[in-house]
Structure 1
Amino acid sequence: MLCAEVSVYPLKTNNATQVIDGAIEALSREQVKYKVGSISTHIDGNDEQVWSGIRKLYDEAKKTGEVNMVVTFSNAEH
């Protein structure tokens, strides 16, 4: 099992909430468990699911312009 804590920070936009919501919507189409928090999203699954989810989240967010994304990975039992 792999888990990741992800935060997306859109840059140079007045629509940060829309960018983040769009990225989370893309994540919802992946076969991965996730929980949205106030400043980050927690993702759980096997290695392929988590890495794919992270990639989809980033790809969707960057469509709108520049973004920073901070990810912490763990394979520890939770």
Structure 2
Amino acid sequence: MISAEVAIYPLKTTHATDVIESSINTLRNGNVSYNVNSMNTRLTGTKTEIFRSLESMFAEAENTGGEVSMVVTITNASK
């Protein structure tokens, strides 16, 4: 198991909240546990599922909002 903290930053849009929410909604289709915070989303799962989920989130944000920045911190350390 690993965990990741991810933040999506849509660029050049007035609909940033919609882009972020759409990106987070892709997690419903995966096998990761996630918790949405005010500044980021924390994911927990297998390495394969975490990276698959991050790719899905980025692709959705890119498709919905165009230019996007994604900041990710990944760890295999337990709490």
Shorter-chain-normalised TM-score: which range?
over 0.9
TM-score normalised by the chain length of structure 1: 0.97
Segments of structure 2 that go 5 or more residues without pairing to the other structure are none
Q: Which residue of 2 aligns with 1:61?
A: 61
Higher helix residue share = 2
Aligned length: 78
Shift of 1:53: 0.7
Q: CA offsets, 1:12-50, max 9 Å, x none?
A: 000000000000111221111000000100000011110
CA RMSD of aligned residues (A): 0.6
Runs of 4+ in 1 over 6 A off after TM superposition: none
TM-score normalised by the chain length of structure 2: 0.96
SS in 2 for 1:31: coil
The 5 Å alignment of 1:1-78 reads: 1-63=1-63, 64-78=65-79
> Matched residues, percent identical?
41
SS in 1 for 2:23: helix
Shift of 1:61: 0.3
How far apart, in 1, do the equivalents of 2:44 and 2:54 lie? 11
